[in-house]
Structure 1
Amino acid sequence: MPDTHAAPMLEKHTIGFVPESDRHGKVRDLFTLWFGGNLAPLPIVTGALGPSLFGLSLWWSLVAFVVGHLAGGALMALHSAQGPQMGIPQMIQSRGQFGTFGALIIVVIAAVMYLGFFSSNIVLAGQSMHGIVNSIPVDVGIVAGALGSAVICIIGYRLIHILNRIGTWVLGIGILVGFFAILTGDLPSDFLTRGDFNFAGWLATVSLGALWQIAFAPYVSDYSRYLPNTVGVPSTFWATYLGCTLGSFLAFAFGAVVTLAAPVGLGTMDGVKATTGSLGSVMLVLFLLSVISHNALNLYGAVLAIITSIQTFRARWIPTARARVILSTIILVAASVVAIALSADFVSHFVDLVVVLLVVLVPWTAINLIDFYIIHKGVYDLDSIFRFDGGIYGRFNWTAITAYLLGIIVQIPFMATSLYTGPVSAFLGGADLSWVAGLVVTGPLYLLLARRGPGRSVGAYAPGTREPARL
């Protein structure tokens, strides 16, 4: 097995296949990546929405977090397990389901998602920096946070893993100390009684947890693709699943606890400082470093998605680290401008983004998983994936595209957003079940259409150079 220490710090690959000679790392690295990466301000702010926006008590918020993260995390971890088997980023692998040009639908959506999360995170970085040193304006903090994430993104894969190994211990201990400081402090008399159970709010909170996990699906295998291809699917799945669900649950729970312990109306990150006493500034420093490190994943994902889009039309182009540097700089500038413009009301914009992402990501994840684990059993023709005409996959796979579009349409009656509430959701008191409908319908529909389509029978392997994945 290749030696981890022999791997260069500056990543040379972008969207190309990672040969076995360049594979490195251990499966346990996936646990620390996703555990440490989720102990960050944005999941803390998201968890705070359970009691603050949806009116749930602490108990019902925690139950909703568990259900949402466990459900969404299973899908996310199944995507992660594709990385060592394929050795290519998730978005370019989607060409095997949607065709070379058909996959652009998903790639563009993923790029927008990454940019949305990146912008939200640098706003939190700016607010954290301002909270630590009041003389630093939020806008200056936003730019500084974006620059820090860009440096990590440019260096690439290995540095991202190293920082999250450190973060697992430092932030893990830090958040446990934060819990202790809050729960042993002067809690409000209604800390355990504020809020209650309401079906719509509980389902909305479950959906937030599920989407938090599913939102990683388009890039989770990007961080497992350097592992040796001898790594099996089960070990990759469990390392990712346990890391991401445990880390994100802790962060969501911390956000709910902070909201209920802080004075009503105080922002979440200000609440962290107010409720943790003398540890407040230390906690903000830790979370500032965390958000910069965590946000490098979003920038890295955005860069790979844009490179994939460009390579679709320039099949002979072999992007290098230089392309990652140039695109990281462009995105940094654009995202900083957007973040500064929306910083005053970024939480509401973030929630709207979450709802939209839920609708468009769920059908893709269902199709990708069915295709990888049932139809192709982990074997794809990599030469075709990188060809301009799509090779055996073609430019468009109308079977997948049809199932994807129907998967979006079927969710409409179940949606509950600030812009539109479907009839089923209205009947249920505003509970959003769109993601459940999308999963239940899209997967079986795609499998049925694929069975009937030419050359897409279940169990048929596409031409390739590798053995089937160890499922």
Structure 2
Amino acid sequence: MPTTETTETSASSSRRTIHIEKRSVGFVPRHERYGTAWSQFTLWFGANLHITTLVTGALAYVLGGDVFWSIIGLFIGQVAGGVVMALHAAQGPRLGLPQMISSRAQFGVYGAALPLLLIVLMYLGFSASSTVLAGQAIAQLYHGPDWTGILTFGLVSAVFTVIGYKIIHRLSRWVSLVSIIAFVYLLIRFAMVADVGQLLSIREFSWTSFLLAIALSASWQIAYGPYVADYSRYLPAETSARSVFSCALGGTVISSTIAMTFGVFIAAWAGESFEGHEVGTVVSLGTGGLVAGLIYLSIAIGKLSINVLNTYGGFMSMMTTYSGFRGKAEVPQVLRILSILAMTAVSMLMALIGRDEFLPAFSSFLLFLLTAFVPWSAINLADFYWISHEKYDVPALADPDGRYGRWNWAALIAFVGGVLIQLPFVSTHFYTGPLVEKLGGTDISWIVGLVATAILYMALRPLDPRTIPERTILPEEDPSEPLSIKE
């Protein structure tokens, strides 16, 4: 007969073993929960310390800002957007569900499909963009054509995504280590070739440029909202919400600040030659030869982490939509794998077809789509923390005839209203609102969207037909036992 010690050793060994994840959009039972809040720090640290984050920060300077105030503005945006992102992360252990499943509590089991369809499109675009950049870096390693690097990167991303949650967290820890080594080397090299003090002396404050820097980094963080709880849902239910919040916030803000600040410095140092040659400028800081190859490799590895997150989040959103209309709490393993392969195939096709001309325009469209994620985020957070007070009926989220119904018009009206309210304040290459010029070209849509949507959603509460449960109801728990969760 096995002893308690033997059982615990076996359980611990099982957690260390890598196997294909069997869960997708379903509830994670308590006996399958493991890990600590620290995993959220390493995950989001690795997800942000890469070339795309660097280039995003550089835009604050390229688009007319100075060095000093661009760095300050970017940091403010990191914290503001990071708080929104981390509040979503804290939902994972409480509900044991992927992020977008909880949207059914606000929008209805069918109504949640509206933001989900837009989010799938976002994942496809971000994944295609990452695949192009990383594929080019891989191709540089063996001086081959870009399409071979794109296919290689896409296939590797698919393998990690199929294995799932556990390998994603392990990957993030290794990516964090590789990225730290690469960035430390690049920072040292940059300090050797550039006059950092002189660059910091470039101080020409402009409200327009300052608010643009805030918007760039805040939007970067808010875009994680639709999938951040996907990577905290396996944590034990008693995990402190405060620790999950702090670790997710710390990981994402610290790494993004490092990368974006470096991006501002490089853009200011390189001048006009930076735009259009972003990767080449970064690689040029190396000493050439083997070092250049290692930098290209670190770029590809850094992009792998975020691309796996995008592919994983994309298939989760697809299956959330499917399972909602089918009235299912979970989907078969075969369907899970097929949806991942479909997501990967479409993103690789987009990358191959549009690597030269299509993706820049599509990236602008993706930024425009952020106007849909801000209202979704406002509704989700307002409901979870202020209306439902973190109390959800999890089994009812898979039942169109249950507590949450098919459609919740209060949330749907607030969502559409939140999108429309932002439009006059949006400034992208794809679309510019009529009030942007009066504000000096500043995009404040994300601030307007968060505040106005939350107020509108609260005001529409009388149209909300739901009854809020007195306590969180989970599929596996005994209704006579209260759920104990640390604050």
1:448-463 matches, within 5 Å, as: 448-450=459-461, 453-455=464-466
Match of 1:30 among 37, 40, 53: 40
1:40-51 matches, within 5 Å, as: 40-51=50-61
Q: Give the counterpart letter for 1:385 in structure 2.
A: L
Match of 2:483 among 449, 467, 471: 467
Distance 1:277 1:106 in 2: 47
Distance 2:287 2:196 in 1: 15
Match of residue 111 from structure 2: 102
How far does residue 324 in structure 1 lie from its aligned partner after superposition? 2.6
Match of 2:342 among 305, 330, 344: 330
1:1-16 matches, within 5 Å, as: 5-7=13-15, 8-9=17-18, 10-16=20-26
Check if 1:421 corresponds to 2:429. Answer: no
Check if 1:310 corresponds to 2:326. Answer: no
Distance 1:272 1:222 in 2: 32
Match of 1:17 among 27, 32, 54: 27
How far does residue 104 in structure 1 lie from its aligned partner after superposition? 0.3
Q: Give the counterpart letter for 1:38 in structure 2.
A: N
Q: Secondary structure at the match of 2:460?
A: helix
Distance 1:162 1:263 in 2: 38
Inter-CA distance 370–189: structure 2 relative to 1 (3 Å threshold): closer
Distance 1:336 1:193 in 2: 43
Q: Secondary structure at the match of 1:353?
A: helix
Q: Is the 8 A contact 1:377 1:469 kept in 2?
A: no
Q: Is the 8 A contact 2:472 2:483 kept in 1?
A: no
Inter-CA distance 346–209: structure 2 relative to 1 (3 Å threshold): farther
Match of residue 124 from structure 1: 133
Match of 1:363 among 375, 398, 403: 375
Inter-CA distance 429–121: structure 2 relative to 1 (3 Å threshold): same
Inter-CA distance 456–403: structure 2 relative to 1 (3 Å threshold): farther
Inter-CA distance 5–205: structure 2 relative to 1 (3 Å threshold): farther
Q: 337-346 or 242-251: which moved more?
A: 337-346
Distance 1:421 1:68 in 2: 21
Q: Is the 8 A contact 1:91 1:308 kept in 2?
A: yes
Match of 1:349 among 341, 345, 361: 361
Q: Give the counterpart letter for 1:24 in structure 2.
A: Y
Inter-CA distance 195–402: structure 2 relative to 1 (3 Å threshold): same
Q: Secondary structure at the match of 1:424?
A: coil
What are the superposed Cα offsets for residues 20-61 of structure 1, whole Å, 9 maximum, x if unpaired? 111111111110000012112221222221222x12222222
Inter-CA distance 346–282: structure 2 relative to 1 (3 Å threshold): farther
Inter-CA distance 4–43: structure 2 relative to 1 (3 Å threshold): farther
Q: Secondary structure at the match of 1:165?
A: helix
Q: TM-score, normalised by structure 2?
A: 0.90
Q: Is the 8 A contact 2:120 2:314 kept in 1?
A: yes
1:53-202 matches, within 5 Å, as: 54-133=63-142, 135-186=143-194, 191-192=199-200, 196-202=204-210
Distance 2:91 2:197 in 1: 49
Q: Is the 8 A contact 2:89 2:248 kept in 1?
A: yes
Q: Secondary structure at the match of 1:430?
A: coil
Match of 1:284 among 286, 296, 299: 296
Identity of aligned residues (%): 35
Distance 1:453 1:261 in 2: 54
Distance 2:422 2:286 in 1: 42
Q: Is the 8 A contact 1:128 1:285 kept in 2?
A: yes
Inter-CA distance 223–5: structure 2 relative to 1 (3 Å threshold): farther
Q: 178-187 or 239-248: which moved more?
A: 178-187
- Unpaired runs of 5+ residues, structure 2, are 1-7
Match of residue 252 from structure 1: 260
Distance 1:468 1:93 in 2: 20
Distance 2:231 2:464 in 1: 33
Distance 1:372 1:283 in 2: 43
Match of 2:385 among 373, 398, 404: 373
- Unpaired runs of 5+ residues, structure 1, are none
Q: Give the counterpart letter for 2:227 in structure 1.
A: Y
Q: Is the 8 A contact 1:20 1:229 kept in 2?
A: yes
What are the superposed Cα offsets for residues 142-169 of structure 1, whole Å, 9 maximum, x if unpaired? 1111111111100000001011112222
> What number of residue pairs does the alignment pair up?
467
Q: Secondary structure at the match of 1:225?
A: coil
How far does residue 275 in structure 1 lie from its aligned partner after superposition? 2.2
What are the superposed Cα offsets for residues 194-239 of structure 1, whole Å, 9 maximum, x if unpaired? 7844433332222121111111111000000000001021011001
Inter-CA distance 417–280: structure 2 relative to 1 (3 Å threshold): same
Inter-CA distance 193–374: structure 2 relative to 1 (3 Å threshold): same
Distance 2:199 2:253 in 1: 25
Distance 2:370 2:344 in 1: 25
Check if 1:39 corresponds to 2:49. Answer: yes
Q: 144-153 or 35-44: which moved more?
A: 35-44
Q: TM-score, normalised by structure 1?
A: 0.92
Inter-CA distance 286–305: structure 2 relative to 1 (3 Å threshold): same
Match of 1:231 among 239, 249, 259: 239
Match of residue 294 from structure 1: 306
Q: Give the counterpart letter for 1:399 in structure 2.
A: A
Q: Give the counterpart letter for 2:316 in structure 1.
A: L
